[in-house]
Every structure is written in structure tokens, then in C-alpha cells.
Chains A and B, each alone.
Chain A
Amino acid sequence: MEDLKELKKVEQLADQCMKCGFCSFFCPVYQEDKIETSVARGKNYLVKQVLQGKQEFTDEMGTIIGKCLLCKRCVANCPSKTQIDRVVVAARAQMVKNKGLGFIKNFAFRKVMSNRKAFGRYVKMARAFQWMMPTTEGTIRHLPDFLKALGQGRNIPSMAKTFLRDQVKPVYKPANGQKAKMKVGFFMGCAMDFVFPDIGLKIIDVLTKHGVEVVVPEEQNCCGAAIYFSGDFETGRMLAEKNIKAFKDFDYVVTGCGTCSSTLKDYQKYLPDTEDQKKRYEEFEKKIKDSTEFLIDVLKIPPEEFKLKKEFEGKTATWHDPCHLVRYQNIKDQPRAILKALKGLKYVEMANADGCCGMGGSFSVYHYDLTKKIADKKMNGIKATGADIVVTACPGCMINLTDHILRSKMPQKVYHFLELVE
């Protein structure tokens, strides 16, 4: 009998599915390929078969549980509230545990090796994963390699000349000699660090303008999203410990990356192996605030206090909900409140604002054809709004949206919402 410890933790969740099949309507992947193994109901059934000893962790199983964006649209609309994301992630973790990280390679071999272009992506990807092995000391810099892996044939932003870590000061006092109303830890996240350092600096700037003292601990690490969502819980737990330690002295940890904020909050949901871990992860969760919710819910800044930057005057904007904000954290009203209140900016709601852009982290490496089809729907939604700019709050989405806007030869530019404000 295979070791099923990780899977056993989610057995009750898996049992909640009553097989109604409503998830099929909401699953971006099933909507494209129309195959039952792609949809939550099918994945859940197969994981239950593993739990019952009727199904092994075959390569095909690896492919099936890998083929999920973790966008949680099915979870949000499930009548019996089955948390299939946790079932899928636990299955990946169990598979990594039982088969080694190689399972990721195995399923890549079958899907990717037959395609020369994809194989190039894979080789670079494998290098990226090597960085994440538990033996890695110090800071894990997975993103540069990850982005290179994505690179083939895609429009990927270049690396920043100087990473954010090499630009930031350890401490930022509130602007204009204000007395600090609060001291927060700033979590950079890899994308801000390596690709969008200016956005990171902008967030610090906005916070200090509003009387917040911002500290940027040097010991902070990658949040671990790409790692533990791929099933490498061991490295995930190591990162969790490092980040908890790095931010132990703060009441709030603020980040401008939707995926980072949700990932840091959700250590308690996906990773705990012991009661002690669970307790500490839960404590950590309470500190984490996405920049959107921090400004509106914690600092309670009235939205109309935000001023639009001159260059955006007269523009029409639409908001894209990152999965990690809208469904992982139920953050949807805060950014809209700011955008709608910005004088000089016209806001238009997109019909499929909360639809996944198709990125799904490494999903887009292995299933770029599906990513394109899923992104096409997003592109149609953007076009229909007539917007000049697409605004969001997740660098992952920004990278993917930019890729497909360029691919579709559309004129829109993509911004982090804080780039719009003075």
C-alpha cells in the first residue's frame, strides 16, 4: 500500500463531492477540452480511487492532477462546497513525496518531449526546479529561470537591470516628517524583485505617504507558490519557516502581489504537518495583507483621497480580478472602489473580470495551447470594454495578460493598480 499521509488529510474534503457536475461550467480547462478528467469532479473521483487503493500514482495521474489552474472557480460555485484545490494540491504533494520531484519531470517527458519547442521550455524549467531542491541554501531565486523557461515564443518582460532587493533601503520612515501611525513589514515577492522593482518602490512610496513606516527585512524569501502548489511541500515548509522568522516582529506584512499575499495566508491551509506548524501558520496568516485590502480595510483611506497620475487622465480602465485575490482572499471591492473614485479616469467593468487569465503558474509551461485559448476569452472581454488600460494587482497576471495582448495585437497596456495613483 502506498503512503497516503498527505492525501488522508483531505479525504473528508474529497468525500463532500456529490458528483453533480456543475463544476464543468466554471472550469476554464474543461470549457476548452470537454474531457471529464480535466474537471474537478473527475479529478476528485480519481483521487478518491487512489485513497481506496484502486488507482496508483501513474504518469497519467500526474498529468491529470497537474492539469489544473488552481483558479478555484469550481470551488466558488460548488453547491456542496468541495475544496478541490486542496485535494489537487495534496495529491500533487503525495505524488512528489512518493515518486520524488521527478514526477513533475515524468509528466513533462510524456507531454513535452514529443514537442521540440516545448522541450526547450522544459529543460530550462528543470533547471529552475533544481534551484528549489530542499538542499538550497539562502534565498531561492527561482523566478528568473522560471521566466526564461516560459520564454520560448512568448512575450516575456525582461529582467530588471537592478533587482528590487538591491535598490531598497532597510527602513522607510513616513513621508513629510509625519509621525508613524504604524510599522509594517514589506514582502517583495519574486516578480516585484526581479521584473517589476518600480512597482515595489511605488507601493512603499504610497504607504509612507499615508504615514506608515515600512521595513524591508533582508531575510525574506520567495512565498513558495510555484513550489508548494506543484507539490513540493518540504521546500514549501522550509520557506514558510524562513518567512515567518523574517517577519516575526511585525503586526502586518504587506505585499503588492496577489499570489504572494494569498500564498502566505494559506500556509495554514495547505502545508501543516504538525499541530505546532498549524498554529504558527495560522498566526502568520493574520498578519498578511494584500496592498489593496491594507489601504482600504486597515488604513481606512477613503478611496476619493487617491489622486490619479497625470499620464492616465482621460483614459478608460478595466479591472482584471486575479484568482488569488478574488477567490483565494475574497478581495474584489477594494481595488474597484479606488479605481472608480479616481477623478479623470473612466472605469468600465469587464463581463468576465473574474475569469482566470490562463497563467496558473507552471500550468502555462506545460499547457501553453490551453493557456492561449483561455486567455483568448479574457482578451475578448477586454476588447468589449473599450478600455485603454487593464489594471490588476498580481504580477503573474500582468505577465500573462501582456503576453496575450501582444499576441492578439491589441493596444492595451497592463498596470498594477498602484501605478495609477500619485
Chain B
Amino acid sequence: MIKEAIITDLQRIVGKENTLTSPEALKAYSYDGTTSWIEEPDVVVFPTSAKEISEIMKLANAEKIPVTPRGGGTNVSGGSVPIQKGIVLCTTKMNKVVRIDKENLSATVEPGVVLQDLTMMLMKEGLFFPPDPQSFLGATLGGIIAENAGGPACVKYGVTKQYILGIEVVLPTGEIVNLGGRTLKNVVGYDLLHIFISSEGTLGVITKAELKLRPLPQARKTTMVVYDDVSKAGEGVFRVLENGVIPNKIELLDNWVINRIEEMMPMGLPKDADAVLLFECDGIPEAVEKETEKIVEITKQFGAVDVRIAKDQAEADKYWLARRAGFAAVFGKAKTVMAEDVTVPRGKIPDLIKICKDLAKKHNVEIVVLGHAGDGNLHPAVLTDITNKEHYDRAVKAMDGIIEGAVELGGVLSGEHGIGLEKQKFFSKITDPVVVNMMKNIKKLFDPNNIMNPGKIWD
């Protein structure tokens, strides 16, 4: 429990109305988008400027109080859960888009701006910010940068780190520093900017960011490709790419997911398909037409049993709605769902799918596969029930097997969710101790008293 005097100090810094201490409010800031990590903070504060955050950090550093930064709380790693209690520093009230610079194709934003709000503002200007974590309705830019988030459009556009030109950040010791800048090229000394991207809030609080934008594509076209074998779908992904078409999205749904979606909202998905791939091409209209033709040709050549081009945006929207419903379909069907975001080099997708299938059989559990096949980032989900110990143990073994398998295929433990609390157990197992040590030393350099989101990434 932190001292009453500290609360008074915090109230002085951010104002009484921006300091929450009621038991109910503390409960509401005890969780994120995960199911298993819960811890209540001692106090929640809503600063409205970098200066206020600097004062909070100086106070917390002097008193050695843990500070957990939080935006929309949509993350799925446990990253914004205040596992060592202390202060939750919530940036949701710093939500201004400071500037949209059409000449430089860039925007300056505060950390609490919700991605979808930004997207809608940019659309009016004919611009867009490509990283598209699927939590865009609630995720804030501060968290998106700190987690180096990504989504389906990664195939063509990459992830967050490719779109951050500079940040203003408050260090755990209270200094306000600017890293990077507003230019596309920048080689002035060490690239400290990128240490903060995917730091998961353990190095400082991002208080402003300069984003790189792109012109909004004029046309989009969606194609659904049906397979009678999920491994062939995996192959379809890299065949399309190696033949010269880079769609902006390639998403995979397996038979189980297709059928759950059809139960939830019948929309005519092929229920007997072993898997479908959803492709979306975007760009100038003529190029989009040509690319779509090429996708049809290549996928048919490599084992697709049916190809449907969405005839209009309404049909396309239907397919993408189905894709988004995929997760709800999975979560609605089991008491506990272990969903991971292992990522393998694209060519290894069929192997990873096979590993999942074998493990499901071996441990007698249901494993469903959906995900961003286009970038090798799959979300195998093991369905179980945490209250049924025997079943849950088997599910854990299956999940361990998936992660080991992915790493053996040259992949990584997390493609877009981050380590947080959720994946610590695997992180220490598969990461070189020398590398972990380097990370710890970097952390110590920025945060000598270990107050900034402590307890995350490593145990």
C-alpha cells in the first residue's frame, strides 16, 4: 500500500478528478485483454501533459513506487496489468492529434489517441497509418508503439516500427527526451528510438509520437480461396508471393473456425472446406485488378478447389467481418482458450500447421488455427477448461509443443502480442541468457530503481 502523502502529491500533480483510489476503480484497472492476469494498483492517475508525467516519475523514482503505463488496456500479454501494484499511469486523456502534415506524409499524436479515431481523421485527408492491430477500436498509439503492434496488413506494409519517425518520452528518472525526429532518414548516433519500440512500457512513458503515413489506396479487392487441405492453403500463401504479388493481407481460417462463424452468422462460407485464405489487394485500381487475376491463377495452379472474387465492397466486408468474428467464435466455444501468436518464416506455415494437427491428436485436445498467414504469424488456439485440471494439463503440453515446434522451424515466440506476463515462461526458456542479460542491463541504464512496469518480459 502506498502512503497517503503520495496520493496527495499525485492529486497535486494531476488534479483530484484525475486521481482514482476507490476500490471499484482499482478493480477496473486490474486487468487487460488477457484472462489470467489480475492485480489491483494502489492508485490510477490520468496525466494530461509530459510535464505532469515527468513529475509523477520523479516522485515514483524517489519513493521507489512501481509505475505501470496503460492506454486502452486492450493488450493481450498482461503488459498493462500492475503486477507489483503501485501507480497505473493511464494516458487515455492525452488523446489529441496534434498535427497532420500532408507535405511530409506524417502526423504528430499524443499517446492516448485511439487508432481507429486516427484512421478516421486521416481518411478525410486521403492518408493512412498502415499498422493495423486488430484491437484498433480500443488500442492507443502509446501502447501500439510500446508493443510494436502489427496486424494483417503486415504482409505488404510491415509493423509499427517501420512507421515511427520520432518520439517524446519521459524516462523513469523524470527527464523528458526526444528520440528520432521528423525525417525519413536519421543516423545521428545510436538508434535509441527503436529501443523504445517493443519495450512494453519498461523503459519510459511515450508522451508524443511522429508517425509516418502513406496515401490512402484508391482501390481494394478481396478474394476468397477455398482449400480441401489446410497445408495446401499454407503453401498457397508463399506461392502467390514468390510469383510477384504482394497483397496487403492474407488471412487463414481453418474448418473449425469456418463452421463456428457460420453458426454465429450464416454468410455462405464453404462449410466443408478444410481451410480458406482471404486475400486483399490494395493500390491503384488497374494494379489491383491485375494482382487479383494473378492470385486466382496461382492459387488454382497450386491446389485451390474454389476461388471467389468479392463482387463488391459489401461482399468483401462480409468476408472480413467473418475473419474478425473468428476470435469471438473461438472464445465463445471453450471455458479457457490459450491463444498464442507464434510466427514462423512464411515458407514454414504448412509445417507449423502439421505440427498443430499432430499435437492435437497426441494430446487429445482441440487446436484451431487462424491468423495472419501472409506474414507467418499464426494464432493456434488450444481449447480447454482451466477448472478441469487433467484437460488443462494436456492443453498446456500441446501449447508447449506448438511453441517449441515454431522455434525449431526458425520462428519466434511472439509476432505481435509481446511477452508481458503471458509468455515469460517461454521467454526465459528459449532466449539466450547473454541476450537476456543485455536487456536487463539496458533496462538498468534507463531505470536504475526498476520502477517502470516492473515484473514484465523476464521473471
A interface, CB within 8 angstroms of B: 16, 18-26, 34-37, 42, 45-46, 49, 55, 58, 60-61, 64, 77, 79-81
CB distance A45 to B135 under 8 Å? no
Contacts A16-B332, A34-B95; is A22 near B138 (CB within 8 Å)?
yes
User: Which B residues touch A81, using CB under 8 A?
Assistant: 328
Q: Does B28 lie at the interface of the complex (its beta carbon under 8 Å from any beta carbon of A)?
A: yes
Residue of A nearest to B115 (CB): A25
Residue of B nearest to A38 (CB): B28
Roughly how many angstroms separate A61 CA and B23 CA in the complex, as a whole number? 10
The secondary-structure label for the interface of chain B is loop
CB distance A37 to B24 under 8 Å? yes
CB distance A21 to B74 under 8 Å? yes
Taking a contact as CB atoms closer than 8 A, the residue among B22, B73, B95, B114 that contacts A25 in the complex is B114
Taking a contact as CB atoms closer than 8 A, the residue among A18, A21, A37, A42 that contacts B138 in the complex is A21
Contacts A20-B74, A22-B137, A22-B138; is A46 near B116 (CB within 8 Å)?
no
User: Which A residues touch B73, using CB under 8 A?
Assistant: 21, 36
User: Which A residues touch B110, using CB under 8 A?
Assistant: none
Roughly how many angstroms separate A405 CA and B116 CA in the complex, as a whole number? 29
Residue of B nearest to A30 (CB): B92
Contacts A16-B332, A22-B138, A55-B27; is A35 near B20 (CB within 8 Å)?
yes
Contacts A37-B28, A60-B24; is A24 near B95 (CB within 8 Å)?
no
User: Which B residues touch A35, using CB under 8 A?
Assistant: 20, 25, 28, 46, 92
Residue of A nearest to B24 (CB): A60
User: Which A residues touch B25, using CB under 8 A?
Assistant: 35-37
CB distance B135 to A21 under 8 Å? yes
User: Which A residues touch B24, using CB under 8 A?
Assistant: 37, 46, 55, 58, 60-61, 64
CB distance A36 to B332 under 8 Å? no
Q: Does B72 lie at the interface of the complex (its beta carbon under 8 Å from any beta carbon of A)?
A: yes
CB distance A80 to B332 under 8 Å? yes
User: Which B residues touch A79, using CB under 8 A?
Assistant: 324-325, 327-328
CB distance A20 to B135 under 8 Å? yes
Q: How far is the CB of A38 from chain B (nearest CB, A)?
A: 9
Roughly how many angstroms separate A18 CA and B31 CA in the complex, as a whole number? 11
User: Which B residues touch A36, using CB under 8 A?
Assistant: 25, 28-29, 73
Among B24, B27, B32, B72: residue with most chain A CB under 10 A: B24
Q: Does B426 lie at the interface of the complex (its beta carbon under 8 Å from any beta carbon of A)?
A: no
Q: How far is the CB of B444 from chain A (nearest CB, A)?
A: 32
CB distance B331 to A80 under 8 Å? yes
CB distance A21 to B27 under 8 Å? no
User: Which A residues touch B22, using CB under 8 A?
Assistant: 60
CB distance B27 to A49 under 8 Å? yes
Chain A proximity mask over B14-40: 1 for CB below 8 Å, otherwise 0: 000000101111011101111100000
Q: A25-B138, A46-B28, A79-B328 are known; give 10 further A-B pairs, CB within 8 A.
A: A19-B33, A19-B34, A19-B35, A21-B137, A22-B137, A34-B112, A35-B46, A36-B29, A49-B27, A80-B328
Roughly how many angstroms separate A43 CA and B34 CA in the complex, as a whole number? 17
Interface positions of B from 225 to 250, Cβ below 8 Å from A: none
CB distance A24 to B137 under 8 Å? yes
User: Which A residues touch B74, using CB under 8 A?
Assistant: 20-22, 24
User: Which A residues touch B20, using CB under 8 A?
Assistant: 35
| 4 shortest interchain CB distances as A-B pairs | A79-B328, A25-B137, A34-B92, A21-B138
Roughly how many angstroms separate A35 CA and B116 CA in the complex, as a whole number? 18
User: Which B residues touch A58, using CB under 8 A?
Assistant: 23-24
Q: How far is the CB of B242 from chain A (nearest CB, A)?
A: 34
Q: How far is the CB of B214 from chain A (nearest CB, A)?
A: 23
Q: How far is the CB of B103 from chain A (nearest CB, A)?
A: 27
Q: How far is the CB of B292 from chain A (nearest CB, A)?
A: 28
CB distance A19 to B28 under 8 Å? no
Q: Does B271 lie at the interface of the complex (its beta carbon under 8 Å from any beta carbon of A)?
A: no
User: Which B residues touch A23, using CB under 8 A?
Assistant: 138
Q: How far is the CB of A267 from chain B (nearest CB, A)?
A: 27
User: Which A residues touch B23, using CB under 8 A?
Assistant: 55, 58, 60
Residue of A nearest to B38 (CB): A45
Q: Does B93 lie at the interface of the complex (its beta carbon under 8 Å from any beta carbon of A)?
A: yes
Roughly how many angstroms separate A151 CA and B27 CA in the complex, as a whole number? 36
CB distance A22 to B93 under 8 Å? no
Contacts A46-B24, A46-B27, A60-B22; is A18 near B137 (CB within 8 Å)?
no
Q: How far is the CB of A99 from chain B (nearest CB, A)?
A: 16
Roughly how many angstroms separate A23 CA and B331 CA in the complex, as a whole number? 17
Q: How far is the CB of A13 from chain B (nearest CB, A)?
A: 12
Roughly how many angstroms separate A79 CA and B323 CA in the complex, as a whole number? 11
Residue of A nearest to B265 (CB): A81
User: Which A residues touch B31, using CB under 8 A?
Assistant: 19, 45
Roughly how many angstroms separate A25 CA and B331 CA in the complex, as a whole number? 21
User: Which B residues touch A60, using CB under 8 A?
Assistant: 22-24
Q: How far is the CB of A114 from chain B (nearest CB, A)?
A: 13
CB distance A45 to B331 under 8 Å? no
Q: How far is the CB of A333 from chain B (nearest CB, A)?
A: 15
> What are 21 A-B pairs at a CB distance below 8 A?
A19-B35, A20-B74, A21-B74, A22-B135, A22-B138, A24-B137, A24-B138, A25-B137, A34-B93, A34-B112, A35-B20, A35-B25, A35-B28, A35-B92, A36-B29, A36-B73, A37-B28, A42-B28, A45-B28, A55-B23, A60-B22
Q: How far is the CB of B87 from chain A (nearest CB, A)?
A: 15
Residue of B nearest to A36 (CB): B28
User: Which A residues touch B112, using CB under 8 A?
Assistant: 34
User: Which A residues touch B27, using CB under 8 A?
Assistant: 45-46, 49, 55
User: Which B residues touch A26, using CB under 8 A?
Assistant: 137
Roughly how many angstroms separate A19 CA and B328 CA in the complex, as a whole number? 11
